[in-house]
């Protein structure tokens, strides 16, 4: 019986090795995810709900906030056995799926900025937002207050920064229901956009940050952060031997406690 709660990150072999050797995980700005409209759709629903409940528009505030703030996401799944994930994110099944100990991300930071894990919500987004507004009255009051001030030309979003980011980090949980089979869990956090690093992907400049889940002093025990590694259905068999050459105990001997090296052998070739 598994004793460790695992969340899974599908990726290429190259990216996997970079993650293992650096002890860092890449998180890109949510506006640059495969579905770039997710956060836009979520904030539009939120603005609509605020307008209907409080008779005030916060669209101007949202536009200003989005121009100076980067909301970064690392994506995981609750399962390593989802073929569509292998096809989309792990080089058509030739890649790897890194099984991270969920506890490693409960208090993870990127510099001075805290991150948190959030399970994606696929259905009844309007109901989710209604509950979000009801359950966070202080944050909502602060957002409405700062929205009024920005309309009057007093632009200082930082005085209620915590409230703003609390709500945005919840909105990042909303995902199109057609992707529910992904069983996605997100590691989300917020940064001043000027502090993000930049990388070019497919001729697009993508803001990103990194989470350090394993310090330099911890590299010989990186298997405690990544207890499981799964090879894709089309992954080269030699990669299994190469993974074990890292001499990480948990990747050499499989255990019912929840660590080892496995293959997702679903017949896809």
- Decide if pLDDT at 111 tops 70: no
pLDDT greater than 60 at residue 258? yes
Give the span between the Cα atoms of 74 and 30, in whole angstroms.
9
Q: Which of 10-14, 175-179, 255-259 is predicted with the least confidence, judged by mean pLDDT?
A: 255-259
pLDDT of residue 12: 97
Mean of pLDDT values over 17-42: 90
pLDDT score recorded for residue 214 = 81
Compute the distance between CA of residue 244 and CA of residue 202 in angstroms, rounded to an integer.
33
Return the pLDDT at 256: 63
Does residue 257 have a pLDDT over 60? no
Q: How far is CA 84 from the centre of its chain?
A: 18
- Would you state the pLDDT for residue 235? 97
Say whether pLDDT at 253 is over 80: no
- Give me Rg for the CA atoms of the chain: 20
Q: Of the ranges 97-111, 115-129, 176-190, 231-245, which one carries the lowest mean pLDDT score?
A: 97-111
Does pLDDT of 109 surpass 70?
Answer: no
Over the stretch 150-190, which tens digit does the pLDDT of each residue have? 777 767 778 889 999 999 999 999 999 999 999 999 999 99
pLDDT of 104 reads: 85
Q: Can you give the pTM of this predicted structure?
A: 0.91
pLDDT of residue 244: 86
- The pLDDT of residue 250 is 77
The per-residue pLDDT for range 83-101, each reduced to its tens digit, is 999 999 999 999 999 999 9
Contact 209, 72 (CB under 8 A): yes
For residue 127, name the pLDDT band (cuts at 50, 70, 90): very high
Condensed to tens digits (0 to 9), the pLDDT of residues 188-202 reads 999 999 999 999 988
- What are the pLDDT digits (tens) for 68-77? 999 999 999 9
Q: Where are the beta strands (DSSP E) in the chain?
A: 6-11, 24-29, 69-77, 96-101, 109-110, 113-119, 184-192, 197-201, 204-212, 228-231, 260-263
What integer pLDDT is reported at residue 4 of this predicted model? 74
- What pLDDT does residue 263 have? 93
The per-residue pLDDT for 74 is: 94
Query: What's residue 41's pLDDT?
Result: 92
**DSSP one-letter string for 114-170:** EEEEEE-B-S-HHHHHHHHHHH-HHHHHHHHHHHHHHHTT---GGGGHHHHHHHHHH
pLDDT of residue 245: 87
Q: Are 211 and 25 in contact (CB under 8 A)?
A: yes
Q: Give the model's pLDDT for residue 255.
A: 63
Whether the predicted pLDDT of 1 surpasses 50: no
């Amino acid at each position: 019986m598994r004793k460790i709660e695992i969340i899974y990150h599908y990726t290429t072999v190259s990216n996997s090795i970079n993650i293992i050797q650096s002890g860092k995980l890449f998180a890109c700005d949510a506006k640059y995810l495969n579905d770039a409209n997710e956060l836009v759709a979520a904030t539009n629903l939120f603005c609509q709900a605020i307008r209907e409940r409080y008779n005030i528009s916060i669209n101007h505030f949202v536009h200003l906030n989005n121009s100076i703030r980067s909301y970064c996401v690392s994506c995981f799944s609750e399962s390593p056995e989802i073929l569509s994930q292998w096809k989309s994110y792990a080089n058509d099944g030739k890649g790897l799926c890194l099984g991270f100990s969920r506890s490693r991300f409960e208090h993870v930071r990127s510099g001075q900025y805290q991150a948190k894990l959030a399970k994606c919500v696929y259905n009844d987004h309007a109901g989710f937002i209604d509950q979000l507004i009801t359950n966070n009255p202080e944050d909502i009051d602060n957002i409405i207050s700062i929205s009024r001030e920005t309309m009057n030309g007093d632009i200082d979003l930082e005085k209620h920064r915590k409230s703003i980011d609390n709500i945005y980090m919840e909105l990042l949980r909303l995902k199109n229901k057609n992707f529910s089979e992904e069983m996605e869990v997100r590691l989300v956090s917020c940064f001043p956009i000027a502090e993000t690093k930049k990388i070019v992907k497919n001729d697009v400049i993508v803001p990103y940050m990194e989470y350090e889940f394993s310090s330099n002093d911890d590299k010989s025990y990186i298997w405690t952060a990544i207890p499981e590694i799964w090879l894709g259905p089309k992954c080269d068999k030699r990669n299994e031997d190469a993974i074990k050459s890292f001499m990480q105990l948990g990747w050499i001997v499989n255990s019912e406690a929840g660590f080892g090296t496995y293959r997702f052998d679903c017949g896809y070739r």
